[in-house]
């Protein structure tokens, strides 16, 4: 069985693409999937993150591969790994002017678009939505969803926001990822919240697992 490819993509910077990519990878790994996470962004956030661990035993327990130099050939590089993994999660760069996101979307079965609840964030998704819809013409299997990240706890998502996102063309995952300090700590420690034991991390881990279950249910 060839690996399913999950693209984490959004043209806006800082919305949590790398955080979501690493944590979904961790949740799939915990469920026994053979996981590869691809760093497709020249900032190399995931490569740096994985190398921040103090030792191998406490670090990221699945491989991260740096394909940020592959450019528009990245799909060929990813293809080399598909027979060895069940799931390949790709952390895409924030720009859609480079070819990387478009090419990854042609090979992916799921695209996850992290966004905050700020209108500026989701308005900036319009170009990306078009890119995904273009990819869907050639790649009929591609399904796309928004994922609300950095939400404020206890504040309900307004019906208006949900409708505004869905009007852009894709559904919203039921699970939202609240703002939690532990995500920054995890990055600094070279870990994910699934390996951390403080209360915030345990809550975060539950949310990440729920999100991963929703994404797995979308796979063919």
Ligand X SMILES: Nc1ncnc2c1ncn2[C@@H]1O[C@H](COP(=O)(O)OP(=O)(O)OP(=O)(O)O)[C@@H](O)[C@H]1O
Chain contacts with ligand X (rule: CB under 6 A): 13-19, 41, 43, 45, 94, 149-150, 177, 179-180, 183-184, 187
Structure tokens at 65: 């591969």
Cα 127 from Cα 41, distance rounded (Å): 19
Q: Is 19 in the site for Mg ion (CB under 5 A)?
A: no
Cβ-contact 60, 192 below 8 angstroms: yes
Q: Is 75 in the site for Mg ion (CB under 5 A)?
A: no
Out of 9, 18, 101, 149, point to the residue binding Mg ion (CB under 5 A).
Answer: 18
Cα–Cα separations (whole angstroms), residue 87 to 111, 171, 182, 209, 218: 13, 22, 25, 15, 13
Q: Is 209 in the site for Mg ion (CB under 5 A)?
A: no
71 Rama sector, left if φ>0, alpha if ψ -120 to 50, beta otherwise: left
Residue 165 CA neighbour count, 13 Å, CB half: 24
Binding at 13: pick from ligand X, Mg ion, none (beta carbon under 5-8 Å per type): ligand X
Binding at 117: pick from ligand X, Mg ion, none (beta carbon under 5-8 Å per type): none
Cβ-contact 113, 139 below 8 angstroms: no
**Nearer of residues 50 and 86 to ligand X, judged by Cβ:** 50
Q: Is 11 in the site for Mg ion (CB under 5 A)?
A: no
> How far apart are CB 217 and Mg ion at their closest, in Å?
25
Binding mask 31-60 for Mg ion (x = CB under 5 A): --------------x---------------
Point out which residues bind Mg ion (CB under 5 A): 17-18, 45
């Amino acid at each position: 069985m060839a690996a399913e490819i999950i693209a984490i993509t959004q043209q806006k910077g800082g919305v949590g693409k790398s955080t979501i990519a690493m944590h979904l990878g961790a949740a799939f790994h915990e469920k026994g999937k053979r996981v590869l996470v691809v760093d497709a962004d020249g900032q190399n956030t995931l490569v740096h993150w994985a190398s921040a661990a103090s030792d191998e035993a406490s670090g990221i327990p699945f491989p991260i591969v740096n394909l940020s130099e592959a450019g528009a050939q990245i799909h060929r590089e990813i293809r080399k790994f598909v027979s060895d993994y069940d799931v390949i999660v790709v952390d895409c760069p924030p720009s859609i002017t480079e070819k990387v996101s478009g090419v990854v979307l042609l090979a992916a079965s799921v695209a996850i678009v992290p966004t905050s609840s700020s209108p500026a964030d989701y308005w900036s998704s319009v170009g990306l939505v078009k890119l995904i819809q273009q990819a869907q013409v050639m790649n009929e299997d591609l399904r796309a969803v928004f994922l609300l990240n950095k939400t404020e706890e206890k504040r309900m998502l307004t019906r208006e926001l949900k409708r505004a996102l869905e009007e852009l063309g894709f559904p919203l995952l039921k699970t939202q990822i609240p703002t939690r300090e532990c995500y920054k700590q995890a990055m600094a420690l070279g870990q994910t919240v699934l390996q951390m034991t403080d209360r915030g991390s345990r809550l975060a881990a539950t949310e990440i697992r729920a999100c991963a279950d929703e994404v797995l249910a979308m796979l063919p």
